[in-house]
Amino acid sequence: MIIDWYPGHMKKARAQIVEILPKIDLVIEVLDARLPKSSANPLLARLRQNKPCIKVLNKQDLADPTVTKAWIQQFEQEQGVKALPLEARNRREVGLLPKLCRKILKARVAAKKPLRVLIVGIPNVGKSTLINTLAGRKIARVGDKPAITTCPQQIDLRNGILLSDTPGLLWPVLDDLPGACRLAASGAIGDNAFDTTEVGLTTASYLAERYPALLMQRYNLDEIPNKQIAIVEEIGRKRGCLISGGEIDLHRAAELLLRELRAGKLGRISLERAQETESAFDRGVETDETNSEL
Q: Which pLDDT score is estimated for 3?
A: 54
Give the number of other Cβ atoms within 10 Å of residue 225's Cβ. Answer: 16
Summarised one tens digit per residue, pLDDT across range 200-242 is 999 999 999 999 999 999 999 999 999 999 999 999 999 999 9
Q: Which of 59-68, 212-221, 271-280 has the lowest mean pLDDT?
A: 271-280
Q: Which pLDDT score is estimated for 249?
A: 97
What is the mean predicted confidence (pLDDT) over 2-11?
53
Residue 232 contacts by C-beta under 8 Å, 6 or more apart in sequence? Answer: 197, 200, 201, 204, 248, 250, 253, 254, 257
Alpha-helical segments (H) within 82-211: 91-94, 96-104, 106-110, 127-135, 177-186, 196-210
DSSP string computed for 10-31: HHHHHHHHHHHGGG-SEEEEEE
Per-residue pLDDT band for 192 (boundaries 50, 70, 90) equals: confident
Question: What CA–CA distance (Å, rounded) separates 67 from 53?
Answer: 21
**Under a CB-based contact definition with an 8 Å cutoff, are residues 227 and 291 in contact?**
yes
Question: Which residues, in sequence order, are bridge partners of residue 130?
Answer: none
Q: Which long-range contacts (CB under 8 A, 24 or more apart) does 137-146 make?
A: 140/165, 144/187, 145/190, 146/187, 146/188, 146/189, 146/190
Beta strands 153-156; 53-58: pairing state: unpaired
Query: What's the one-letter identity of residue 132?
Result: N
Question: What CA–CA distance (Å, rounded) separates 186 from 270?
Answer: 10
Q: Which pLDDT score is estimated for 287?
A: 43
Q: Which pLDDT score is estimated for 102?
A: 98
Summarised one tens digit per residue, pLDDT across range 117-168 is 999 988 788 998 999 999 998 886 554 444 444 455 789 999 999 999 876 5
Summarised one tens digit per residue, pLDDT across range 81-118 is 999 999 999 999 999 999 999 999 999 999 999 999 99
Q: Which domains does the chain have, with CATH numbers?
A: 3-165 (3.40.50.300), 195-289 (1.10.1580.10)
Query: What's the one-letter identity of residue 166?
Result: T
Question: What CA–CA distance (Å, rounded) separates 108 from 102?
Answer: 8
**Under a CB-based contact definition with an 8 Å cutoff, are residues 204 and 232 in contact?**
yes
Query: What's the one-letter identity of residue 54?
Result: I
Please, is 89 exposed, middle or buried when counting C-beta atoms within 10 Å of its C-beta (0-12, 13-18, 19+)?
A: middle
Q: Which pLDDT score is estimated for 89?
A: 97
Question: What CA–CA distance (Å, rounded) separates 108 from 54?
Answer: 17
Give the number of other Cβ atoms within 10 Å of residue 69's Cβ. Answer: 13
Q: Which pLDDT score is estimated for 44?
A: 82
